[in-house]
A and B are shown apart, each in its own frame.
Chain A
Amino acid sequence: MNRRQFFKLCAGGVATSAIAGLGLMPTLAFAAPREFKLIRAKETRNNCCYCSVGCGLLMYSRGDVSKNVEPSLFHIEGDADHPVSRGALCPKGAGLLDFVNSPNRLQYPEYRAPGAATWQRISWQEAFTRIARLMKDDRDQNMIKTNAAGTPVNRWMTTGMLTASAQSNEAGFLTQKFARGLGLVAVDTQARI
């Protein structure tokens, strides 16, 4: 006997028959107080990605897995079973739901020209090309190749990089290689924002 059968038995069989056996079966005992459809929420365990602590989260979302339905997140709470955060969340973590569902959330690259008052949407290709162009120009102009003593160095001081804060070791390694390979000195994570 598995659990489902057990509960079916308990609920539909034993309890009801026990009540009936005692002559106490009311007509309405097992009728729902009102007709309703149960709301189904997917329960998922995840980590907060906003700093290197990586607090545990329980996330609840609506919507099935069908392709034309966008799942929507409606509740986030601290995961009490998590060995590090033990259910606690900082103010930023406690406000995660509002980040995710924010109407102001950036969903595509945007560009504001110097002096312009408005942002305009651009394609990812345009964004990558523009960033690469500006980085290259800035690096070509400002790269420091030797220090005052004439020792060769690899310093690009005029651009900084903000990286993700909850990465795997491997992603961290690649990030470091990329940043230091370019000569970037100012590297930080977005945990400080």
Chain B
Amino acid sequence: MTQAILEADQIPTQNLAIIPILAPAPIAVYQKRAERLAKLAIDSPMVDYLTLLEQLVNMQVSLAKNADFGAMPSFVSGQEMPFSIEHCGDNQYWQVLLLELISGLLPVVSEQIAEVLQTLGQLDQAILADYGNALRRGEFSRVPAQYSLFIWAAMSVYWSHWAAKPIPELTHQVTDHKQLCPVCGSHPVVSMIKDKPRTGLRYLHCSLCETEWHMVRAACTVCDKDDKIYLWAEQEKQASVRIESCDHCHGYTKMLFTDIDPSLEAAVDDLATMYLIKYG
């Protein structure tokens, strides 16, 4: 961690309270993601896949800017995980987004992928709704693998658009569960050690709605125990990507230290460092 050195008059003006939930700014998130993908695609053995992802994320940017998101999904104010599948199974608008996503991607992707996209676009609404629900429940094998990426991308644009709405009404009591996203109940992708709003705090990044929520460091993100926490890294002592593991539950989460490398992006760098898991 870089230790900030402050002038005497700056010290009392800092706002040091921990903000428990950071609402997503979808356009900025997707723009950063697209830039990171473009950078990593150079010299990557996964160049084809990363380029496809970049095209996909660029479509997400334009959808987040221009799409019609309809009426706000209803939620009970102050309810725990108001947009989780248990409370909010809306399956209308993301399907519209999916069709827009497909039509935007079709002209730029290879023939093989265009074929997949066309079949996906022609699926029945009920089937798509079922696939969407299965993915949100974590039943990944129920969805044909070639479709899950695009369905998830469309759902992500939809939920990240609305995620900010219920956050101000979430009280401390309902955000005590740290394992899952306090807004949509999805699993986190990674831990981000942030430079802002305050250096060194850990936020978990939601895999669906891009919300980030605070969790104390040096504690297990799965079982909350804090006495057998290990960080695994490559050669460098202070690597910017490390894996935090717990010897109690044998769970682990990747940690991206954005105070060490500000260009790190939650979803992209999780993918880019997938090889680390082989050693976990």
Partner of A18, one of B145, B218, B235, B249: B145
A window 59-88: CB within 8 A of B: 60, 74-75, 77-81, 86-88
In which size bucket is the chain A interface?
35 or more
Cβ contact within 8 Å between A29 and B237: no
Cβ contact within 8 Å between A17 and B145: yes
Looking at B140, B198, B280, the one whose CB has the most chain A CB atoms below 10 A away is B140
Smallest CB separation, A5 vs chain B (Å): 9
Cβ contact within 8 Å between A60 and B231: yes
Taking CB as reference atom, which chain A residue is nearest B149?
Answer: A18
What is the size, in residues, of chain B's interface with A at 8 Å between Cβ atoms?
59
B window 180-210: CB within 8 A of A: 187, 198-202
Cβ contact within 8 Å between B235 and A26: no
Contacts of B116 in A (CB 8 A): 21-22
Q: A22-B49, A26-B45 given as contacts; is B231 within 8 A of A43 (CB)?
A: yes
Cβ contact within 8 Å between B1 and A7: no
Cβ contact within 8 Å between B199 and A3: no
Q: A21-B145, A58-B217 given as contacts; is B274 within 8 A of A2 (CB)?
A: no
Smallest CB separation, A157 vs chain B (Å): 39
A19 CA / B13 CA spacing, docked (Å): 49
Q: A18-B146, A30-B278 given as contacts; is B233 within 8 A of A38 (CB)?
A: yes
A81 CA / B215 CA spacing, docked (Å): 9
Contacts of B243 in A (CB 8 A): 38
Q: Which residues of A contact B (CB under 8 A)?
A: 1-4, 6-7, 9-15, 17-24, 26-33, 36-45, 58, 60, 74-75, 77-81, 86-89, 94
A-B contacts, 23 of them at CB < 8 A, read A1-B138, A3-B221, A14-B148, A18-B148, A19-B46, A22-B49, A22-B116, A22-B149, A23-B113, A26-B48, A32-B275, A36-B235, A39-B232, A39-B237, A41-B233, A43-B230, A43-B231, A77-B3, A79-B200, A81-B18, A81-B201, A86-B198, A89-B3
